[in-house]
């Protein structure tokens, strides 16, 4: 069974790991599944061959035998269902981990994406400086709630799960904004996620594509703590 995912031929973030193929790579690394990557240009993403896989003309996609999926939530969920390592065996704990996946994507990610839009696409608008504090405060509201729930636990609900993988992936986008650092337990939570060997393999693989370097060259120079700002496109 060969798994093939798609990724940007050249990611707009230059390899900071914000492109969403990173979360799929991370899930595959966590469960020990090898995969291939098909790189696509922005133009190819909008052409019929790719649109047949992804109706919105985006990456990543996931192909495995005669199954083709899009949307990282669905892809990571599929990987987690098929392979041990990302969801607990206990039915209730499993349902709670899945709940955190949904929470990451539908409750926490939207205000964070709004900040990227406000900075990248609307930064030159006359009303931008008035809007920015509102956007940031909506993020703070979510982070405060999440921080309160996480408390001093390592992960959101017991052992590391697909819920944490998705939540860390979403929060990572705040790096460089200063917002994450206002919540030290969330900042430490993201660091814990990034420190996982599976995340580092996933990060290095996407960085190698975007910099042309081999993973072995990257090991000494690309540790998570050394990466700069998020929120600058993916």
Binding site for ligand GSH (CB under 6 A): 19-20, 57-59, 71-72, 234
Shortest CB 207 distance to ligand GSH, Å: 15
Phi, psi of 213 (to 5 degrees): -90, 155
Residue closer to ligand GSH by CB (options 20, 25) is 20
Residue closer to ligand GSH by CB (options 16, 20) is 20
Shortest CB 22 distance to ligand GSH, Å: 9
Residue closer to ligand GSH by CB (options 118, 183) is 118
Shortest CB 166 distance to ligand GSH, Å: 9
CB neighbours of 110 closer than 8 A, spacing ≥ 6? none
Rg (CA), the chain: 17
Shortest CB 57 distance to ligand GSH, Å: 6
Residue closer to ligand GSH by CB (options 29, 234) is 234
> CA 79 → CA 25, 35, 36, 148, 220, distances in Å?
10, 12, 15, 29, 30
* Chain position whose Cβ is nearest to ligand GSH: 58
Sheet containing strand 3-8, strands side by side: 36-40, 3-8, 61-64, 67-70
Tokens (6 digits) for 123: 């930064």
């Amino acid at each position: 069974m060969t798994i093939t995912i798609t990724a940007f031929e050249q990611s707009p973030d230059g390899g900071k790991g914000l492109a969403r193929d990173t979360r799929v790579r991370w899930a595959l690394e966590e469960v020990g599944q090898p995969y291939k990557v098909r790189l696509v240009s922005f133009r190819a993403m909008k052409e019929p061959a790719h649109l047949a896989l992804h109706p919105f003309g985006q990456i990543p996609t996931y192909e495995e035998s005669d199954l083709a999926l899009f949307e990282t939530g669905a892809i990571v969920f599929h990987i987690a269902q098929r392979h041990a390592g990302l969801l607990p065996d206990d039915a209730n704990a499993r349902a709670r981990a899945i709940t955190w996946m949904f929470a990451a994507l539908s409750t926490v990610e939207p205000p964070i994406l709004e900040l990227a839009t406000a900075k990248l696409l609307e930064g030159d608008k006359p009303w931008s400086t008035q809007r920015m504090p509102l956007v940031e405060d909506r993020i703070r509201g979510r982070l405060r709630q999440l921080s309160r729930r996480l408390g001093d636990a390592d992960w959101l609900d017991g052992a590391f799960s697909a819920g944490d993988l998705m939540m860390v992936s979403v929060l990572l986008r705040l790096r460089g904004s200063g917002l994450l650092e206002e919540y030290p337990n969330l900042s430490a939570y993201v660091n814990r996620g990034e420190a996982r060997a599976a995340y580092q393999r996933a990060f290095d693989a996407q960085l190698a594509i975007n910099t042309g370097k081999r993973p072995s060259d990257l090991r000494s120079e690309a540790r998570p703590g050394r990466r700069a700002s998020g929120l600058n496109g993916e």
